[in-house]
Structure 1
Amino acid sequence: MEDETSGLWLFGYGSLIWKPPPHFDRRVPGYINRYVRRFWQASEDHRGTPQAPGRVVTLIDHDHWKSLSDPHANAPERVWGAAYHIPPARTQEVKEYLDIREINGYSIQYTPFYPAESVRQSDGSLPEKFSCLVYIGLPENPQFVGPQDLDALAAHILKSVGPSGENKEYLYMLEMALETLSPESVDEHVSDLAGRCRELERARGPEERDEERKHVGEGLTRVRSTEEQEEVE
């Protein structure tokens, strides 16, 4: 956890991997255990609207996930992402910034974080593990949608857009960001959905794609800075 002398460690497993929180002074790739990352959280405030919610990632406890009927039947017990250190002088400010974003179903938890071995070898100051704050959309929250047909989920992501941008951008950026963390950090669920979205895009004719672009962002205020607003996961 955080205190006045050590600051705050925050774990990002979604958009925070490529869009860091404000005022961080250190970024460490690594993973947490016993969770599964899935596009099972509705987004009414960032990648969709209340009338047409998009889909973003959340974490599901691995034991609970095993009780569900997931079309992606396999998942490692490690979820890769990035931990960010917020210095003590900025901890309260950043926590308030993040807490404002604790809407649309996300809740604060703390979990052990394990830095990537390559990072620990190059930086002897890092412990084997340390506690990180993480925002999770728990299954009991109203925005949790649970397992979905993969083709239907990809089609939904492809058509969704919100104040923070197109839902497909979130998916594609997450896929690319995960590839940079570690040889072990590729997420099959994310990569498969991205592949399905690209296939659907290729199957669309030019007229259909042009018509879709005309409507992207209609009636929305595009957020242009993570200082203004951004996802917390």
Structure 2
Amino acid sequence: MKQFWIFGYGSLMWRPGFEFLRSEPARVYGYHRSLCIYSYVHRGSPEEPGLVMGLDRGGSCHGMAFEVLPERWDETISYLRAREQVTSVYVEKSKTIRLIESGQAVEAVTYVVDRAHRQYAGVLDEEALERHVRQGRGVSGACLDYVLNTLDHLREMNIHDPTLERLARRLGFRPRAARAERV
């Protein structure tokens, strides 16, 4: 029986928004997690863009894989396209991922940044990262909340992201237990 998987590396890890059969930590190779997308809708605006995660070329990325029931696949993909493709900054790809607990290799749909898109920010210095994270606010809330929630969930999964850790220190981040719950 064919399996249907989604790979999440940002907010999909902690707010998938779709029904799934099971989830498991996973890794994709050839891409890394990066705050490399100017957010004009969900976490910012064209006038004051925030930043959101993208899978960018090179390295590997730990994230979360979600198995979706075959009968829910079409509605799940429709939901994800509406959520992730608002400005078409991502390219929907099927990639082989490795499930961490079982060691199984599976095909999963994930969203990779389109480097030719005008919202591709590339590698920003720490001051620019901080400025965009502090200023960004969009229809899904504050960019700051998005970044700190992502970092909280990475830490819960024992995933160390040096760039996000440095950014969190610049932002005055305290672990979840020491601050109010963020959405």
Question: Which band: TM-score by shorter chain?
Answer: 0.7 to 0.9
Q: For the residues of structure 2 that align with 1:138 and 1:186, how far apart are their CA atoms?
A: 25
Letter of the structure 2 residue corresponding to residue 34 of structure 1: G
3-state SS of the aligned residue for 2:55? Answer: strand
Asked if residue 94 in structure 1 is aligned to residue 68 in structure 2, the reply is no
Deviates more, 1:100-109 or 1:85-94: 100-109
5 Å-filtered alignment, 1:1-233, equals 5-62=1-58, 77-101=59-83, 102-104=85-87, 105-116=89-100, 119-120=101-102, 128-182=104-158, 185-198=159-172
Letter of the structure 2 residue corresponding to residue 177 of structure 1: H
After superposition, give the CA deviation of every residue in 1:24-67 in whole Å (9 maximum; x if it has no partner): 111111211121221110111100112222101111111xxxxx
3-state SS of the aligned residue for 1:47? Answer: coil
TM-score (normalizing by structure 1):
0.70
CA RMSD of aligned residues (A): 1.8
Identity across the alignment (%)? 28
3-state SS of the aligned residue for 1:198? Answer: coil
8 A contact 1:138–1:144 mirrored in 2: yes
Please state how far the C-alpha of 1:155 moved relative to its aligned partner.
2.1
Q: For the residues of structure 2 that align with 1:21 and 1:129, how far apart are their CA atoms?
A: 24
After superposition, give the CA deviation of every residue in 1:55-107 in whole Å (9 maximum; x if it has no partner): 01111111xxxxxxxxxxxxxx2211000111011101111111222122111
Specify the alignment match of 2:176 in structure 1.
Answer: none
8 A contact 1:7–1:91 mirrored in 2: no
3-state SS of the aligned residue for 2:32? Answer: strand
- Unpaired stretches in structure 2, ≥5 consecutive residues: 174-182
Letter of the structure 2 residue corresponding to residue 152 of structure 1: A
8 A contact 2:26–2:62 mirrored in 1: yes
Letter of the structure 2 residue corresponding to residue 114 of structure 1: R
Specify the alignment match of 1:220 in structure 2.
Answer: none
Q: For the residues of structure 2 that align with 1:44 and 1:187, how far apart are their CA atoms?
A: 24
Please state how far the C-alpha of 1:18 moved relative to its aligned partner.
0.6
Letter of the structure 1 residue corresponding to residue 79 of structure 2: Y
Q: For the residues of structure 2 that align with 1:147 and 1:59, how far apart are their CA atoms?
A: 12
Q: Which runs of 4+ in 1 moved over 4 A?
A: none
Please state how far the C-alpha of 1:20 moved relative to its aligned partner.
1.7
More strand by share: 2
Please state how far the C-alpha of 1:135 moved relative to its aligned partner.
0.8
8 A contact 1:160–1:166 mirrored in 2: yes
Please state how far the C-alpha of 1:7 moved relative to its aligned partner.
4.6
Please state how far the C-alpha of 1:164 moved relative to its aligned partner.
0.4
Please state how far the C-alpha of 1:186 moved relative to its aligned partner.
1.1
TM-score (normalizing by structure 2):
0.87
- Unpaired stretches in structure 1, ≥5 consecutive residues: 63-76, 121-126, 200-223, 225-233
Aligned length: 173
